[in-house]
Amino acid sequence: MMITTAESLSPTHVCTHNPSCPTADQVDREAAHVIAAHPEQGWSLLCNGVVLFEDTGELLPDGQSIDARRSDLLACASHREH
């Protein structure tokens, strides 16, 4: 199957888990199941259509990009001085 538009990747059509995974527009969207993992390339496709990058950046099914939060995560790490 070839996906040609963002509308073709509707989360309601991709996720078959019970209970359903969070949709791409929910704040906990990263909790969705991984359906394709490519760690050698640094990304994973979640069942809600979100592409999650290893630096915590995201690409949503509608084409919107979410900036990486790596600096926020490192700032909260216990081994760093505050």
When divided into structural domains, the chain yields a total of 1
* pLDDT band at 11; cut points 50, 70, 90: very low
Q: Give per-residue pLDDT as tens, 41-60.
A: 999 999 999 999 998 899 99
Q: Which pLDDT score is estimated for 14?
A: 63
* 57 in a structural domain: yes
Of 69, 65, 76, which is closest to residue 54 (Cα–Cα)?
A: 69
* 47 in a structural domain: yes
Q: Which pLDDT score is estimated for 78?
A: 65
- Note down the domain range covering 58: 16-75
Q: Which pLDDT score is estimated for 25?
A: 93
* 81 in a structural domain: no
Between 1 and 62, the more confident residue is 62
* 29 in a structural domain: yes
On the 0-12 / 13-18 / 19+ scale of CB atoms within 10 A, 30 is middle
Please give the full DSSP string across 22-81, using - where no structure is assigned: PPTTSTTGGGSPEEEEETTTTEEEETTS-EEETTS-EE-TTS-EE---HHHHHHT-TTS-
pTM given for the model: 0.68
Q: Is the pLDDT of residue 5 over 90?
A: no
Cα separation of 62 and 82, whole Å? 37
CA angle centred on 27, ends 22 and 33, rounded to 5°: 35
